Structure 1
Amino acid sequence: MPELTVVVHGPNTQDRLTALLASLAAHPHPEVEVVVAAVGTWAQETAGAYASEMLVLPLPDGTDDATARSAGAARASGRWLHFVHAEDGLPAGAPRMVAERIAELPDEVDVLLFDHVRSTWDTSGLPSDDGPLLARAGRAAHPLDDIARAALRVTPLLGNRALRTPFWHTHERRLTTPDEPFASYATLLLADHIAALNQVAYDHHELRPESLPPATPEDHYTLVDRYETLLTLARNRAATAATATATATATATAAATATSSLPGTTGDAVPRSLPHAVLYDVMVRDCLRTFARTPMPDPVAREFFRRAAEAATRHRPPGHRRPAGPEGIRRSLLEENAYTRYRAFQAANRARRAVKSAVRARSRQVTDALGDRHYRKALSRPVNPNLAVFAAYWNRGVACNPAALAAKLTELAPQIHPVWVVTPENAPLLPPHTDHVLPGTRRYREVLATAKYLVNNVNYPNAIVKRPDAIHLQTHHGTPLKRMGVDQMEFPAAAKGLDFPALLARIDRWDYSVSANSHSTRMWERAYPSRFVSLDHGYPRNDVFYTATASDIRAIRDRLGIPPTHRAILYAPTHRDYEAGWTPRLDLATLADRLGEDTVLLVRGHYFYDGTPSPLTALRRTGRVIDVSAYDPVEDLALAADALLTDYSSIMFDYANLDRPIVIYADDWETYRSTRGVYFDLMAESPGPVARTQQDLTEILTTEAWHDEGATKARAAFRRRFCEYDDGRAAERVVRRVFLGESEDTLPPVTPLEDRTPAPSPREAL
Structure 2
Amino acid sequence: MAQRTERTGGKGGTRPKLSVIVYGRDVQGLLGATLDSVADQLPPDAELVTAAVGEVAQSVAEPYGGTVVPLPPGTSDAAARAAGAGRAGGTWLWFVHAKDRLPTGAPRALLDRLTEVESAAAGVDVVLADHVRSTWRTTGGSGADAGRLARLGRRELPLGEASGLLRVTPLLGNRAVRAAFWHEHGAALSDLDASFDDRTAEMFAARATLVLAERIACLEQAVLDVRQLRPQSLPPVTAEQRYGFVTAYEDLQRLMERQETPAGPRAVLYDLMATESMRTVARETMPSAVAREFFHRASAAAVRWRPEGYRHPAGLEGVRRRLLEEDAYPKYRAFQSANHKRRDLRAAVRTRKKQFGTKVRDVRYQRALRAPADPGLAVFSAYWDRGASCNPAAIAAKLAELAPHIRPVWVVSAANEPLLPPGTEHVVPGTRRYWEVLARAKYLVNNVNFPNAVVKRPDAVHLQTHHGTPLKKMGLDQLAYPTASKGLDFDALLARVDKWDYSVSANSHSTRMWEHAYPSRYVSLDHGYPRNDVYYSAGAAEIRSVRDRLGIAPGRRALLYAPTHRDYEAAWTPRLDLAALSERLGDGTVLLVRGHYFYGGAASPLATLRRSGHVIDVSAYDPVEELALAADALITDYSSIMFDYANLDRPIISYADDWETYAQTRGVYFDLMAEPPGHVARTQDELTQLLATDAWCDEASAKARDRFRRRFCEFDDGHAAERVVRRVFLGEPEEALPPVVPLDARTPAPTPEEATR
Q: 1:290 to 1:707 in 2, by over 3 A?
A: farther
Cα contact 2:503–2:522 (8 A) shared by 1? yes
CA displacement at 1:708 relative to structure 2: 2.9
1:11 aligns with 2:21: yes
1:436 aligns with 2:458: no
1:118 aligns with 2:130: yes
1:440, 1:524 → 2: CA distance? 30
Aligned with 2:414: secondary structure? coil
CA displacement at 1:17 relative to structure 2: 9.6
TM-score, scaled relative to structure 2: 0.73
2:665, 2:243 → 1: CA distance? 41
1:208 aligns with 2:226: yes
Cα contact 2:525–2:724 (8 A) shared by 1? yes
Aligned with 1:426: secondary structure? helix
1:549 aligns with 2:539: yes
* 1:658 alignment partner AA: L
CA displacement at 1:662 relative to structure 2: 2.0
CA displacement at 1:454 relative to structure 2: 1.4
1:630 aligns with 2:617: no
1:312, 1:8 → 2: CA distance? 39
Counterpart residue number, 1:481 = 471
CA displacement at 1:438 relative to structure 2: 0.2
Over the aligned positions, Cα root-mean-square deviation in angstroms equals 5.2
Q: 1:20 to 1:624 in 2, by over 3 A?
A: farther
Decide which moves more: 359-368 or 432-441.
359-368
Describe how 1:704-723 pairs up with structure 2 within 5 A: 704-723=694-713
* 2:433 alignment partner AA: R
Pair member with larger Rg = 1
1:162, 1:463 → 2: CA distance? 45
Deviations 1:38-76 (A, max 9, x none): 89489xxxxxxxxxxxxxxx999998879999999xx99
Cα contact 2:50–2:84 (8 A) shared by 1? no
From 224, 229, 244, the counterpart of 2:246: 224
From 566, 570, 591, the counterpart of 2:560: 570
1:479, 1:284 → 2: CA distance? 51
Decide which moves more: 723-732 or 408-417.
408-417
From 651, 662, 677, the counterpart of 2:652: 662
Q: 1:575 to 1:225 in 2, by over 3 A?
A: same
2:504, 2:176 → 1: CA distance? 53
CA displacement at 1:439 relative to structure 2: 0.7
From 379, 383, 386, the counterpart of 2:373: 383
Aligned with 1:644: secondary structure? strand
Aligned with 1:307: secondary structure? helix
Describe how 1:387-536 pairs up with structure 2 within 5 A: 387-496=377-486, 498-536=488-526
Q: 1:612 to 1:120 in 2, by over 3 A?
A: farther
The alignment of Structure 1 onto Structure 2 pairs a total of residues equal to 678
1:130, 1:690 → 2: CA distance? 29
Counterpart residue number, 2:364 = 374
Cα contact 1:392–1:399 (8 A) shared by 2? yes
1:349 aligns with 2:359: no
Describe how 1:71-470 pairs up with structure 2 within 5 A: 118-121=130-133, 122=140, 123=142, 126-129=145-148, 208=226, 210=228, 217=238, 220-229=242-251, 280=270, 283-293=273-283, 301-315=291-305, 325-335=315-325, 337=327, 339=329, 342-343=332-333, 345-470=335-460
Decide which moves more: 361-370 or 341-350.
341-350
Deviations 1:583-603 (A, max 9, x none): 444444444455455433333
Identity %: 59
Aligned with 2:672: secondary structure? coil
Aligned with 2:438: secondary structure? helix
CA displacement at 1:629 relative to structure 2: 2.0
Counterpart residue number, 1:263 = none
From 661, 677, 681, the counterpart of 2:671: 681
1:600 aligns with 2:590: yes
Cα contact 1:125–1:580 (8 A) shared by 2? no
1:526, 1:237 → 2: CA distance? 59
Q: 1:321 to 1:674 in 2, by over 3 A?
A: closer
Deviations 1:122-171 (A, max 9, x none): 34794445899x99xxx9999x8xx99989989999999999xxx99999
Q: 1:481 to 1:90 in 2, by over 3 A?
A: closer
1:647, 1:726 → 2: CA distance? 22
Aligned with 2:524: secondary structure? strand
CA displacement at 1:560 relative to structure 2: 2.6
Aligned with 2:354: secondary structure? helix
1:71, 1:339 → 2: CA distance? 48
* 2:628 alignment partner AA: A
Q: 1:219 to 1:414 in 2, by over 3 A?
A: same
Q: 1:60 to 1:337 in 2, by over 3 A?
A: same
2:505, 2:176 → 1: CA distance? 52
1:734, 1:741 → 2: CA distance? 10
Deviations 1:16-46 (A, max 9, x none): 99999989x9xxxxxxxxxx9x89489xxxx
Q: 1:337 to 1:604 in 2, by over 3 A?
A: same
* Structure 2 unaligned regions, length at least 5: 1-16, 24-33, 52-66, 72-78, 97-105, 134-139, 193-200
CA displacement at 1:514 relative to structure 2: 1.6
CA displacement at 1:411 relative to structure 2: 2.0
CA displacement at 1:434 relative to structure 2: 0.9
Aligned with 1:763: secondary structure? helix
Aligned with 2:415: secondary structure? coil
CA displacement at 1:762 relative to structure 2: 2.1
* Structure 1 unaligned regions, length at least 5: 1-6, 26-35, 43-57, 77-82, 103-110, 242-272
2:257, 2:478 → 1: CA distance? 58
Counterpart residue number, 2:753 = 763
2:114, 2:494 → 1: CA distance? 44
Q: 1:298 to 1:701 in 2, by over 3 A?
A: farther
CA displacement at 1:435 relative to structure 2: 0.9
2:172, 2:204 → 1: CA distance? 10
Cα contact 1:160–1:201 (8 A) shared by 2? no
Counterpart residue number, 2:64 = none
2:223, 2:281 → 1: CA distance? 24
Q: 1:370 to 1:663 in 2, by over 3 A?
A: same
Deviations 1:660-718 (A, max 9, x none): 12223334444444444433333333322334444544454445543333322222122
